[in-house]
Chain A
Amino acid sequence: DSGVTQTPKHLITATGQRVTLRCSPRSGDLSVYWYQQSLDQGLQFLIQYYNGEERAKGNILERFSAQQFPDLHSELNLSSLELGDSALYFCASSVTRQNYGYTFGSGTRLTVV
């Protein structure tokens, strides 16, 4: 157990729907990162939050949004889902904004049908 908790582990939904993925960082970690992993694209950075504030944005679609709450857990909202959004979504956390590597959760496997 890495200490980063992601729920749900699996999600199957239809095109056009909206889902919310949840992440609880390791105790004491202030930064949360969201990544998307697909077979052909590898791990792609979506967005980072640090202590409740958005810090960096990657190739995140406008249909996707995220936030970090005062208790530091984070949610990634995916709307108007398309077949191509099917992927593994990982959350990671780190204690500071420094790059000593971060700890990943086990991911949420999203299947859009």
Chain B
Amino acid sequence: DAGVIQSPRHEVTEMGQEVTLRCKPISGHDYLFWYRQTMMRGLELLIYFNNNVPIDDSGMPEDRFSAKMPNASFSTLKIQPSEPRDSAVYFCASRRTGPYGYTFGSGTRLTVV
């Protein structure tokens, strides 16, 4: 099992540009989560999906952020337009229904200059 795969590992972009982060969950996992980690705010849940359907997006900071899960093996988090305050590490995680833990990807470190 390759685990949760995120790409890219690092992204540096200019303010105003569109940024797309990608995630491949573990096969068979029916939940997918996007988290953001910053020094100031710690780990924040942005949105999560169950069976490809968004369940709770109350953590998405504003309309510049959007997430999709077109199928069970792929999800994207898009920021358009990006701002310097979006600089953070973005983690994707997945799990399957039941008494199981959440498996995290290695994260994408986003820097907006």
Say whether A associates with B: no
